[in-house]
Structure 1
Amino acid sequence: MATSSPFARPPPSNTQGAPPTTSVSDFLSVRSAPSVLAPSQSYAPFFKIVLQKRLKNMFILTAAAAVLALHVARFDPKELPGSLYNVLPALLFSPLAFLGALPIIVLRKQTITTSLPSTATRFSQLSSLRNPSTLPIFLAYLFGAISLSTSYIWCAGYTSRAPQLGVLSYHEGRGLYVLNERRIFLGLLHGFIAAYATVEHILSARSRVQFDEDASAPIPARLKAKATTRAPLAIRSVLVANALFFSSYILLRQPILKLVVTSFLGSWARPYLYTMLRSNAAYSFTLIARSLASSFLIFVVWEAAHVCFEVYATHPASVSHFSSNPNQCLISGLRSDDSYFQHFAYLELSTLTLTNPERRKNIFTDIKPDSARGAWAEISRESLKLVGTELQRAKGRGRVAAPPSAAAAPLAGAPSSPSSSPSVAIRNENVFKPTKKTFLDTLAASSTPSAAPSAVSSAISSSVSAATSRVPSIFQTGGSDVPTSAAPAPVATAVQAVVGFEEKLASWIPSAWSGSLFTRRPELVVGACVARRREVIWAIGALANLLCASLQEDPYGVAQHDIPKILEAFVRYLDVLDDLVKDLTASAERLPGWEKDETLKEITEQVAPLQLALRNGVREIVTEFEPFLSEFRFPTAIATRLQLLVDWG
């Protein structure tokens, strides 16, 4: 038995020649069973094959960076000029240095995510260090620091012929062996660097992959751009970590040693520590140079691993054409539960619908013989579901409302009759063209009672409310009743608010000292409202590309009858984004100094491209189907917005 579908072809009795139309409520009220393979059986395995090939290149580049960093770090001015050309020690100990980058790559691979952190401030991120997920991160950095520290000590000792650098104790004479404070100092420093990198990993949300705005840039250009950006940050980490550790070591060294000698260790260990008390190795310029060089090696290798992973893990790839059924493979990617694979699926969909006429025609002609559902129906459905979800996220200022109950779904999605849901067509003439007033018009205007404007406003409000009820809950505000008057937009609370102990602590510490520690981060506040803006932009572009090409490439006309619901969804989302921009801008105006500037900058960079994509998508569809616009029916509010685009472009 064929499944009931809103995409069914019109009955033969319709001889008017007008394209069939359906509302957005019809589109989302029917939830048919998926007609494609599960994501784990189709799209994801193909993309994982591409990632495995990229992993080899990632290892090669990281190993090359480890060799170069180790050669620079073990540089000894006393051995000039031979130390400049002697690359044998770096090559000899480079496998151990590469082993220090391997845990970072494994960590990024296991914890990869595309979601924004839910914490609002730097302090709340620091408080999340108590979570159990922090321990694996610290262990990965600690293992990497141990490997890199060992490779540096052995390589530097081999180059400078100073065996005392690599031993824990050495013979001082007369049968006395003392601890090598240089080795202890470097070991403590590298352990501190592992803890410092763990905190930096959490504060920078390194588990989240950062996608570039320009997805068309080649891998070498992206590697160069990211390396140029991250190199100053690595140097800053080297200086900050060493400054913190040096100051702490100088202040705590002698009190801790005295406490250990007098209270914990027996007489057998005291000669080792007394020797350390006699001389303070922290003031040695040679040791300072060693610490800076080893820190440089560790941070450069780690940053190389991060940069290579970011580039290779986010570079786009087209994989659906490797499948025996490319459309099913692509649709399974759109339906994937992992937003990471969904990102690449929507990017591939946008690219092929713009540049590949054969794939577009294949999408239009891929129709199941026993059902009206096909590739176009599935692609448009998944794309509009994404648009609807992000619409709700923007309305909730970063929070997506729970889906409606099954009992209320048929009522919310049931199509309304023409008598209860007024709709209008879009006309091709200028509706703003002034008309000449007659005597009867002047007489009627002068005799209109004062209550007439309110009556007209009530009529328009009721008609818009009735038209809005045709749209399902995914494109409406949470709740079954649609208000007739616009409610004030909620305050922009996209991420967790500053409450509890953090709020009290922020009130105790002067703002001049706290800096940005208790300040809500603008990129999170704005980004949480448009968390999947890239996927939405690509989905909008794909729908617009397919609809505009359907006039020449769709032999069965399966796409034209979805034009009303797509335009309606675009316009409603654009209205929500306009309200969001007004709300965020008003909130930013109340912020002081740099917070205001950063918030306005984030609004321009994150929300404005989404608004532009919606306007361009609507404009392209309306322009392409301008001769047929009078055949479609839209709710009054939607038709008004579309009419403005027709008249004013």
Structure 2
Amino acid sequence: MATSTAPRNPPTPIRAIPSTLLSRTAPTIPPASQLYEPLVKAVLRHRQHKIFLHSAALSWLLVSARRTWSEGDRDFWLLPIKPSTLAYTLATFATGALPIVVLRKSHVAASPTPATSPSKTLAGAFQKQSTVHALLTYLVSSLSLAALHLFITTSYDATADPHARISLFVKSRKHPYYLNGHLIYLLFSQAFIALACLVRCVLLDRFAVRWGASLTARKEKLQSFGLARAVTVTLTTFVYTLIATVLYLGVFAFGRSVVLPTFYQLPFVPRLLKPFTAHFLRGQWTPLLLTRHWSLVSRAFYLALTTVGIWEFAESAFDSIVAESISVSAHTADPGLTLVSGITSTDPYLKHFAYAELREFTTEDSPAAAQRRSALFADQKYNPNMWSTLSREALLTLGRDYQLFLRRGQPAPPPAAAPAAAPKPSTPLPGHATPLLRASVFKTAQTSPLRASLDMLASDGPLATAVSETAEAGASHLPELFRSVLPSTPPAPASAAIETAKKAEESVARVVSETKGVWREGVGKTLVGFLPKGVAEAGAQVRTWWTRERVHRVAETSLPNRYVDALAAEVLCRLTCASLTEDAYGVVQRDIPKIVEALLSFLTALEEFHTELNAKYALPPLEQLQQLSAKDVAEKELLALEAARASEVCGVVTDAIKEGVVQIVRTFGEKLAAFRFPPRIAKKLQGFVDYN
């Protein structure tokens, strides 16, 4: 009988009981590199295209004017739109403006260079990699523009003077390798212009962004380029090119009249120079050549003027556009989160934009803005939350710059070495220790009598050991008076030897520096003795101007990030005031004491520095000024003017802190009595309360 077996139903699968008590870790605030920085960089790329457009328009105008002037045909109105003109414009833009904009973009700095005098500025600049890149960029750009100018003149300018068609060698059958002096003059002129523009860029610290205009209360965008800026750039270009051309004429005359004949006096050098430069030693006196080659000088001046104009126009447009405020949070889902993420950026340049936009976020007066601020205060989705991150980053920014201001811009000292830990006393082992066997356990091999005699006379042999032990035993019985003249035998530890070597190295470096100073002073006195009195006095004034520390530069070095500090203080104060009505859970209230303490501590240091400036550099009364010489009066007026500029530098942070603390006092009023402050902070805060 067959039986059919029906398939059994599978058992019920086992699964976990769902629960809502699972512990989920709150996410952290997204870093600025993921949330804020891509948005800002997209805006900056768009602005960079505006700079390119302005520079290309200037290149087109210069090329059109040049071709119209050189050709001057009846169809001059068609020249600007000819393909050759457009190609020439594109090449001029690619070799002139494009490298400068890329250079400025690559090395833009949010803070100025910490230097208090022109000499320190120039010395510090040549230690940076950006200066080397700038020098190479200026040289390549200037020489490329010169090559392009020569190529266009030779190929397309049919009416040009034969001397304008410059070749590498002169047309001489007897001396076919003589270099063309016109070409050398043009190339060296362009190289000199590049070096002069680099020095100006370094002394003006053009890689640092000028943040002053970004703190204005206007909401509209700043005009990137206007008529006033165009006139300023034009005048600056003309004056600076004229000065550089005059200096180059002097340098070129000195090189042809002094440097080149000196090279011919050296051994073996004339053999290398004579086939190429022998004709430069003949001819008229160098200053008289200026009248015969005026067309070459004017041509070099025009080329230098074009080069400097393109560079100055591009850099001026970059300076104005790069400091405009940026607003990107309105295009995101959570503006508060975007801005809080932005102030955590490691790039100081991008962090400034985040603080500037966060300032607008705190000052906006509308129900939607109040709701966004309330959401920022009540955030619990992130750990740490948005307010904790914002307050911590702002206070850290103010704290770092406060410490830097106390050090007057000097770097932080190295941390002190930790004291060596005392050796722990050894615990004696229980019982009697087994004595160590000092003798050799191996049987020594028999040595020859000659080898035994040599071992006895060796430095570590038994004879030398016996002599040293006898000397030590004899010294132990000597009186203390005679024992003091014996040499100390214990060797110094390795650390002591290292310290001794370092001290010796420092002493040698100090001696070398002092020797250089003595030699410089001696050479300077010798030169002053031979030079006329007027020239010596002018040289002393130039040297004083070059090396003297400026009072306002000391303040700028002490407060390199003053605009970010002012924005951070303003943001903290405005959010603190808004928390009275918009913070439903009171998360800001616990941070009010440390916010006020940080701001008033910074304000106290700034006011002390201002008092120090007034006491040291204030002008004396009129009666005392009348008793001084004109030179001393001019020096004191200059120092007073620099002290006033230093007060303006400090006033950027001082005014922001004062205005913010006044707003807190007016908003909270008597409620500030509920907080506890240190005595010095309470005394300072009481002054604001009494004033209001």
TM-score by length of 2: 0.67
- Measure the CA separation in 1 of the matches of 2:68 and 2:517: 46
Task: Please name the residue that 2:354 is paired with.
Answer: 345
Task: Please name the residue that 1:600 is paired with.
Answer: 643
Report the CA distance between 1:139 and its aligned residue.
0.9
Task: Please name the residue that 1:522 is paired with.
Answer: 551
- Measure the CA separation in 2 of the matches of 1:266 and 1:379: 68
Q: Secondary structure, in 3 states, of the residue corresponding to 2:408?
A: coil
Give the counterpart letter for 1:250 in structure 2. A
Query: Is the contact between residue 364 and residue 554 of structure 1 (CA under 8 Å) also seen in structure 2?
Result: yes
The reply to whether residue 390 of structure 1 matches residue 401 of structure 2 is yes
- Measure the CA separation in 1 of the matches of 2:85 and 2:277: 38
Report the CA distance between 1:539 and its aligned residue.
1.4
Give the counterpart letter for 1:550 in structure 2. S
Pairs within 5 Å for 1:51-90: 51-72=44-65, 76=69, 86-87=79-80
Query: Is the contact between residue 281 and residue 287 of structure 1 (CA under 8 Å) also seen in structure 2?
Result: no
Report the CA distance between 1:66 and its aligned residue.
2.1
Task: Please name the residue that 1:18 is paired with.
Answer: none
- Compared with structure 1, are the counterparts of its residues 404 and 288 closer, same or farther at alpha carbon in structure 2 (3 Å cutoff)? closer
1:238 corresponds to which of 238, 241, 247? 241
1:301 corresponds to which of 286, 291, 310? 310
Give the counterpart letter for 1:381 in structure 2. R
Per-residue CA shift, 1:398-435, capped at 9, x if unaligned? 24657999x9xxxxxxxxxxxxxxxxxxxxxxxxxxxx
1:42 corresponds to which of 35, 38, 45? 35
Q: Secondary structure, in 3 states, of the residue corresponding to 2:547?
A: coil
Which has the greater radius of gyration? Answer: 2
Pairs within 5 Å for 1:106-505: 106-128=102-124, 131=127, 133=129, 134-156=131-153, 158-159=156-157, 160-162=159-161, 164-169=163-168, 179-215=179-215, 216=218, 218-220=221-223, 224=227, 226-254=229-257, 263-265=270-272, 269=276, 282-283=290-291, 284-355=293-364, 357=366, 358-366=368-376, 367-369=378-380, 373-399=384-410, 401=412
Query: Is the contact between residue 114 and residue 556 of structure 2 (CA under 8 Å) also seen in structure 1?
Result: no
Query: Is the contact between residue 112 and residue 207 of structure 1 (CA under 8 Å) also seen in structure 2?
Result: yes
Query: Is the contact between residue 145 and residue 298 of structure 1 (CA under 8 Å) also seen in structure 2?
Result: yes
In the alignment, structure 2 segments of 5+ residues that lack a partner are 1-25, 419-512, 526-535, 620-631
TM-score by length of 1: 0.71
Give the counterpart letter for 1:52 in structure 2. R
Q: Secondary structure, in 3 states, of the residue corresponding to 2:546?
A: coil
- Compared with structure 1, are the counterparts of its residues 83 and 503 closer, same or farther at alpha carbon in structure 2 (3 Å cutoff)? farther
In the alignment, structure 1 segments of 5+ residues that lack a partner are 1-32, 408-498
Task: Please name the residue that 1:438 is paired with.
Answer: none
Task: Please name the residue that 2:599 is paired with.
Answer: 570
- Measure the CA separation in 2 of the matches of 1:193 and 1:237: 10
Task: Please name the residue that 1:426 is paired with.
Answer: none
Report the CA distance between 1:171 and its aligned residue.
7.4
Query: Is the contact between residue 389 and residue 400 of structure 1 (CA under 8 Å) also seen in structure 2?
Result: no
Query: Is the contact between residue 394 and residue 530 of structure 1 (CA under 8 Å) also seen in structure 2?
Result: yes
1:531 corresponds to which of 543, 560, 567? 560
- Measure the CA separation in 2 of the matches of 1:54 and 1:114: 18
Task: Please name the residue that 2:472 is paired with.
Answer: none
- Compared with structure 1, are the counterparts of its residues 267 and 393 closer, same or farther at alpha carbon in structure 2 (3 Å cutoff)? closer
Per-residue CA shift, 1:537-567, capped at 9, x if unaligned? 1112212222222233223332233322222
Q: Which has the higher contact order (CA 8 A, sep 6+)?
A: 1
- Measure the CA separation in 2 of the matches of 1:129 and 1:515: 20
Count of residue pairs the alignment pairs up: 526
Taking every aligned residue pair, what percent have the same amino acid on both sides? 26
Give the counterpart letter for 2:164 in structure 1. L
Query: Is the contact between residue 214 and residue 325 of structure 2 (CA under 8 Å) also seen in structure 1?
Result: no
- Greater CA deviation, 596-605 or 225-234? 225-234
- Greater CA deviation, 369-378 or 197-206? 369-378
Per-residue CA shift, 1:494-549, capped at 9, x if unaligned? xxxxx976899699685434241111133321112222111111112212222222
Give the counterpart letter for 2:109 in structure 1. T
1:635 corresponds to which of 667, 675, 678? 678
- Measure the CA separation in 2 of the matches of 1:113 and 1:600: 26
Give the counterpart letter for 1:167 in structure 2. I
Per-residue CA shift, 1:96-123, capped at 9, x if unaligned? 2112222211221221112222333222
- Compared with structure 1, are the counterparts of its residues 129 and 646 closer, same or farther at alpha carbon in structure 2 (3 Å cutoff)? closer
Give the counterpart letter for 2:135 in structure 1. F
